[in-house]
Amino acid sequence: MILLVNPRATKPKNRRFPLSVMALGAALPEGASWELLDGNVPGTDLHAGIASRVEARAGGPDPVTLVAMTVMPGPQLLAAVPLARRLKERFPRLPVVWGGYFPTLYPLPVLRAPYVDFLVRGQGERTLVELLDVVAGTRDPATVAGLGFRDGGEPRLNPERPWTGPDDFPSPPYERIDVGSYLMPTFLGRRNGVYHASIGCPYTCNFCGVIAAYGSRERFESPARTSAHLSFLVERHGMDAVHFYDNNFFLKEPHAEELCERITPLGLRWWCEARIDVMLRYSDATWRKIRRSGLTMAFFGAESGSDERLRRMSKNLTVEQTLAHAARMRSFGIVPEYSFVLGDPEDPEDDVATTLAFIRKLKGINPDIEVITYFYTPTPQRRGTYGGVDPLSETPATLEEWIEPEWVGWMTHEDPLVPWMPPALKAKVTDFELVLESRFPSLKDLKTARWGRALGRLLARRRWERGRYDDPRLLRTVRSLARRGAADRQEYGHLRPPA
């Protein structure tokens, strides 16, 4: 029995299909016995759940032979470390393997932890299958591409495994989860699900973790297969909206057209992440098909208000393209979310000033745009890193350090303690955001009471007109009085009910 574990990554009300472990389960050999345990499901105690299975099966025909955990940087790491540590204390001989973005980006601290025996970098399906032979004692771990392990106590990373597209693997094992319990009400629909229709990304943005994990390549699932899976979720489970979690949903125009034609009859409202330059190249006819198929909001990395910085980010994008895109999105009635990476190590003051001014300009072109800001957090790369910094310099050597609050703030890109971003400069950004969000309340802000939104709009109007964002004390007071509950950054994908 293999236990595929999704450590808690978010609040139960924000949970989505545990796609990583579902993909792994689907690819296990026929006849392999496995179970999926999701720490995001309400009331789940993963340690107790795993321990009871291990104990109940010990000495029987199908004992637990491997605990396989997926680990993303941030809160999921925070849950995974104590879970793995406690399991190892209780069952020292039970092998534990980690895979996912954290061990892929930061393998050495993982292999220094005595409670993790193996790690898998990048795509995991085939590596996991070969690891089963290692665990059974019939294969030398040194022969498994993509695997990391300790060799005589020393961390050892085998060469990467070439990866392959989604069509090479079986369909997601929906029968192994309670599908309906993951379909959440959101502003898109009453039963919103998530889907991942590709792997990787062909671009080279030198601040992004995807490139370190997968290189610059993308492989799509065939439109026929994507629409068959979505049809199943719609027809069998009443799904009425979907978030596509692909890194880069649109690439080749004929592919986008075919997929949109196929999913139009499903009547879904949907969201995705895509590239500004790619969508701009599509014809009006394709944009109409995309709109007709239900695309309601989409997320784009606009990143900066400076062409020079976009060039240094290796983003392959210009500010003119973003401005043209904002106008086009408006004319087709699709809401764009533009994400910005703030804090160029070479001149952070200028970066903040230029990019905030650019956001103003975008708002002038399309008042519906949503804005998401992150502070630049160096992430391991294959080639150079934005800002010319060493992304591993001074990062923790151990998992215990990684789960300290300052490093969790680093991993979530919300409050990285980088030397070039002093608190006063960060405050400039958060003050700007407060004025912006007060003047143009976000579709996603469902926590501010209606009176607070109206008052905020009124109070922020003059500030916005004059471009004055400093120390908006009154707005802060209104926001804190009118807000029901703390901000929840894990609402990624907006899996929150409409107001």
Residue ranges that bind ligand B12, judged by CB under 6 A? 6, 9-10, 16, 18-20, 23-24, 40, 68-70, 72-76, 97-101, 105, 120, 123-125, 127-128, 196, 208-210, 245-247, 379, 411-413, 489-490, 492-493
What is the Cα–Cα distance from 272 to 72, expressed in whole angstroms?
20
Please give the span between the terminal C-alpha atoms of the chain, in angstroms, as a whole number.
Answer: 44
Q: Among ligand SF4, ligand B12, none, what does residue 268 contact (CB within 5–8 Å per kind)?
A: none
Q: Does residue 205 bind ligand SF4 (CB under 6 A)? A: yes
Stretch that binds ligand SF4, among 49-57, 197-205, 249-257, 457-465 (CB under 6 A): 197-205
Under rule CB under 6 A, residue 210 binds ligand SF4: yes
Q: Which is nearer to ligand B12, 99 or 348 (CB)?
A: 99
State the DSSP code for 487. Answer: -
- Does position 244 interact with ligand SF4 (CB under 6 A)? The reply is no
Q: Which does 124 bind (CB under 5 to 8 A by kind): ligand B12, ligand SF4, none?
A: ligand B12
CA dist list (Å): 196 to 166, 171, 339, 444: 9, 12, 20, 22
Whose CA is closest to 147, among 114, 169, 124, 168?
A: 124
The size of the interface with ligand SF4 (CB under 6 A), counted in residues, is: 10
The answer to whether 219 and 111 are in contact (CB under 8 A) is no
Nearer to ligand B12, 128 or 478 (CB): 128
Pick what 196 binds: ligand B12, ligand SF4, none; C-beta below 5 to 8 Å, kind-dependent.
Answer: ligand B12
Ordered DSSP codes for 143-199: GSTTEEEEETTEEEEPPPPP---GGGSPPP-GGGS-GGGG-B--SS-SSEEEE--EE
Nearer to ligand SF4, 274 or 495 (CB): 274
Residue whose structure tokens are 């992004």: 208
Task: State which residue, 100 or 109, has the beta carbon closest to ligand SF4.
Answer: 100
DSSP sequence for 458-469: HHHHHHHHHT--
Least distance from C-beta 458 to ligand B12, angstroms?
31
Q: Of 150-158, 206-214, 444-452, 460-468, which segment contacts ligand SF4 by CB under 6 A?
A: 206-214
Residue 68 is classified by DSSP as E
Contact with ligand SF4 (CB under 6 A) among 9, 208, 399, 403: 208
Give, in order, the Cα–Cα distances in Å from 207 to each of 65, 192, 376, 384. Answer: 38, 30, 8, 9
Q: Which is nearer to ligand B12, 15 or 312 (CB)?
A: 15
Stretch that binds ligand SF4, among 133-141, 204-212, 355-363, 434-442 (CB under 6 A): 204-212
- What distance in Å separates the CA atoms of residue 390 and residue 348, rounded to the nearest whole number? 17
Picking from 78, 105, 101, the residue whose alpha carbon sits closest to that of residue 19 is 101
Residue 378 touches which of ligand B12, ligand SF4, none (CB < 5 to 8 A by kind)? none
Min dist. Cβ of residue 190 to ligand B12 (A): 20
Output the six-digit token pair for 159: 């060469």
Q: Of residues 256-275, which lie at the interface with ligand SF4 (CB under 6 A)?
A: 275
Among the listed residues 211, 263, 411, 421, the single contact to ligand SF4 using CB under 6 A: 211
Check residue 201 for interaction with ligand SF4 (CB under 6 A): yes
Whole-number Å distance between alpha carbons of 389 and 260: 41
For residues 81 and 362, which CB has a smaller minimum distance to ligand B12 in the complex?
81
HSE-CB of 2 using CA atoms within 13 angstroms: 24
Closest CB 270 distance from ligand B12, rounded Å: 14
Collect all residues with Cβ–Cβ distance below 8 Å to 311 and sequence separation of at least 6.
none
* Least spacing, CB of residue 259 vs ligand B12, in Å: 17
379 binds, among ligand B12, ligand SF4, none (CB under 5 to 8 A by kind): ligand B12
Task: For residues 495 and 250, give the distance between their C-alpha atoms in angstroms, rounded to a whole number.
Answer: 22
250 to 135, 273, 293, 299: CA distances (angstroms): 40, 8, 14, 12
Q: Which of 10, 76, 186, 248 binds ligand SF4 (CB under 6 A)?
A: 248
CB of 301 to ligand SF4, least distance (A): 5
Rounded least distance, CB 18 to ligand B12, Å: 6
Q: Among ligand SF4, ligand B12, none, what does residue 248 contact (CB within 5–8 Å per kind)? A: ligand SF4
Applying CB under 6 A, does 309 fall inside the site for ligand SF4?
Answer: no
List the single partner that 128 binds among ligand B12, ligand SF4, none, CB under 5 to 8 Å by kind: ligand B12
Partner interacting with residue 301 (select from ligand SF4, ligand B12, none; CB below 5-8 Å by kind) = ligand SF4
Q: Residue 103: what are its φ and ψ, rounded to 5°?
A: -65, -25
By beta-carbon proximity to ligand B12, the closer residue of 14 and 264 is 14
Phi then psi for residue 288, to 5 deg, are: -65, -40
Picked from ligand B12, ligand SF4, none, the partner binding residue 203 (CB below 5 to 8 A depending on kind) is ligand SF4
Nearest residue (CB) to ligand SF4, 179 versus 276 = 276
Q: Does 245 bind ligand SF4 (CB under 6 A)?
A: no
What is the distance between the alpha carbons of residues 134 and 132, in angstroms, rounded to a whole number? 5
Considering only the C-alpha atoms of the chain, give the largest distance between any 2 of them, rounded to a whole number of Å.
74
Is the sign of the CA dihedral 51, 52, 56, 60 positive or negative? negative
Helix (H/G/I), strand (E/B), else coil: 308: helix
- The binding site for ligand SF4 (CB under 6 A) comprises 201, 203, 205, 208, 210-211, 247-248, 275, 301
